[in-house]
Amino acid sequence: MPELSDPIPLYNFVVKIQDMEIGWFTECSGLTVERAVLAQPEGGINDYVPQLPGPISYSKITLKRGLADNVLWDWFRQGWYDGKVERRHVTITLLNPDHTEARHWDMTNAYPVRWTGPDFQTDSAQVGVETLELAAGGGSEQALVQRALDEGSNAARGDRAAPQDSEIDLPALAEKVYALLKQELSVERERLGRKWS
């Protein structure tokens, strides 16, 4: 029977942008990945509609921190006039109470889509808070990847990573896929009473 573990408290987390801690963030929200559900009606099935898994979508992530410097504002302002926005790698790390890493989320190709400044109140003694909303993804990379360390060890993050493209023999893979498709087509033609040409 697996050993039960206590839930990890949420108050202790670190945000790094391009592997640099940018001040202390007080809130992080929007770690959401959603799979679309595609209804696929089929002829002859009248009592239900089959539901098929569709594409994955990622929500925007919102970060809040005390207004201290212009780092986040300057990042948002890049591409203001020419659209050349700098995409960066963002890592959100949740820490255990003893400050060891519990798990982390990597955002690839992240860029800011919204910046919000503080709300001013003359009767308030609260600190000013700025909010940055990030979108991520693009190309063949996943927008958000959750990773957890092996229990009882602080193994390197790349230990259980998927093989990189450089480790896959793409020509051999393409040849195998082509052979399988050709075989499937041949079987289908035979089923329809036609000869393979």
Structure tokens at 131: 């909010």
pLDDT at residue number 189: 73
Compute the distance between CA of residue 128 and CA of residue 122 in angstroms, rounded to an integer: 12
pLDDT at residue 169, as a whole number: 75
Give yes or no: residues 150 and 83 share one domain: yes
Whether 111 shows a pLDDT value over 60: the answer reads yes
> According to the model, what pLDDT value does residue 133 have?
94
Q: How far apart are the first and last CA of the chain?
A: 58
Mean pLDDT of 153-170: 49
Whether residue 110 is found in the same domain as residue 193: no
Q: Within this chain, do residues 39 and 17 fall inside the same structural domain, yes or no?
A: yes
Structurally, the chain folds into a number of domains equal to 2
Q: Is the pLDDT of residue 66 over 60?
A: yes
Say if residue 101's pLDDT is above 50: yes
Share of the chain above pLDDT 70, in %: 79
Exposed / middle / buried, residue 67 (Cβ in 10 Å: 0-12, 13-18, 19+): middle
| Cα–Cα distance measured from residue 44 to residue 146, given in angstroms and rounded to the nearest whole number | 41
Q: Same domain for 152 and 84?
A: yes
- Asked whether residue 142 falls in the same domain as residue 171, the answer is no
Residue-level pLDDT at 134 = 93
* Least confident range of 15-19, 70-74, 170-174, 193-197: 193-197
Residues 122 and 90 reside in one and the same domain: yes
- The DSSP string of 93-115 is EEE-TTS-EEEEEEEEEEEEEEE
Contacts of 34-40 with CB under 8 Å at 24 or more apart are: 34/58, 34/59
Give the range among 25-29, 101-105, 146-150 with minimum mean pLDDT.
146-150
Q: Is the pLDDT of residue 1 over 90?
A: no
Q: Pairing between strand 144-148 and 13-17?
A: unpaired
Q: If you average pLDDT over every residue of the chain, what do you get?
A: 79
Q: Which of 100, 96, 91, 93 is nearest to 8 (CA)?
A: 96
Position 165 pLDDT exceeds 60: no
Alpha-carbon gap, residue 174 to 182, rounded angstroms? 12
- Residue 8: inside a domain, yes or no? no
Per-residue confidence band for 178, with pLDDT thresholds at 50, 70 and 90:
confident
Q: Are residues 106 and 172 in the same domain?
A: no
pLDDT at 187 over 50: yes
Question: Containing domain of residue 187, as a range?
Answer: 166-197
| Section 15-30 average pLDDT | 85
